[in-house]
Amino acid sequence: MIQLAVLDMAGTTVADDGLVEQAFTAAIGAQGIEPGTPQYERMIAHVRATMGESKITVFRALLEREEAAQEANQAFEEAYNRLIDGLKPIDGAEDAIRQLKDAGIKVCLTTGFSETTQHRILTALGWQTLADLTLCPAQAGRGRPYPDMVLKALLELTADSVANVAVAGDTAYDMATGIRAGAGIVAGVLTGAHGKQQLDAAGATHVLESVRELPGLLLDRRLEK
C-alpha cells in the first residue's frame, strides 16, 4: 500500500515553460559563454540531458573551477528568481496532490533548486502548506540521482517501507532516484524535460501523461490489494 508520494516540482507539478534554460543562459552568460557558440551548445545539451539533477552539480560538471561553478549557480538562482512570478502549476497538479492527501497518502515536494528558490516557488503558487513536506538537496544530503531526498521524506513522514513509497518526476534523474531508493512505484510524467523512451530506459515502472493520473494509479493499486 502506498503511504507516501514524493513528487518533483519543475516539469512535474510546476510548469517549466523554458524557465530553467532561460536562467541557465543568464548564468552561463555571466561566465562569458554566449548563446550560439559551440561551447554554449555543448553546455545546454548537457543541461537538457541532466534535468532534475542538483543545479550546483551540473555547474561543477560544466566549469573547471569550483569558484566558477558557485558563481554560475548563484547567477542561475538569481535569474530563476526573477522569473518566478510567471510560474504556473501543471494543470490539475494541485487537485492531484489534494486527492492523494484526502486518501491518506502523505506528499513530499522535491526540487534540485536551493531552499530559498524552492520557498519562493511555493510562495508564488500559494503552495506553502499544500504538501506535508518539501525538500531540496541541501536539506537531505545529496540531490538527484542519489536517493537521499526520497529516503529523507520516508524518515520524516514515517512510511513503513521504501516499497510503500511512490516517486513521480519528468526526468531520467527522477527515475534513477526512485529506483535507487527502492520505491514501490517510480512514475514518469510527460509534462517536462524527458520523453517516454528516456523515462522507460531510466527504469520507470509507469509512464503517465501527467501527474493528474497519479492518484488514479495509486488508489487503483490500493483496491487491487
Q: Give the separation between CA 207 and CA 217, rounded to whole angstroms.
A: 11
CA distance 218 to 33: 45
Tens digit of pLDDT at every position of the chain (225 positions)? 899 999 999 999 999 888 888 888 888 888 888 888 999 899 988 888 888 788 888 899 888 899 989 998 889 888 888 888 778 999 999 999 999 999 999 999 999 888 888 998 999 999 999 999 999 999 999 989 999 999 999 999 999 999 999 999 999 999 999 999 999 999 999 998 899 999 999 999 999 999 999 999 998 765 555
Residue 165 DSSP symbol: E
Predicted model pTM: 0.86
Taking each helix axis from N to C terminus, what angle separates 214-224 and 93-102, rounded to the nearest 10 degrees? 20
Question: Looking at residue 186, what is its pLDDT?
Answer: 98
At a CB cut-off of 8 Å and minimum separation 6, what does 199 contact?
171, 172, 175, 188, 190, 207
Which grid cell is 33? 559563454
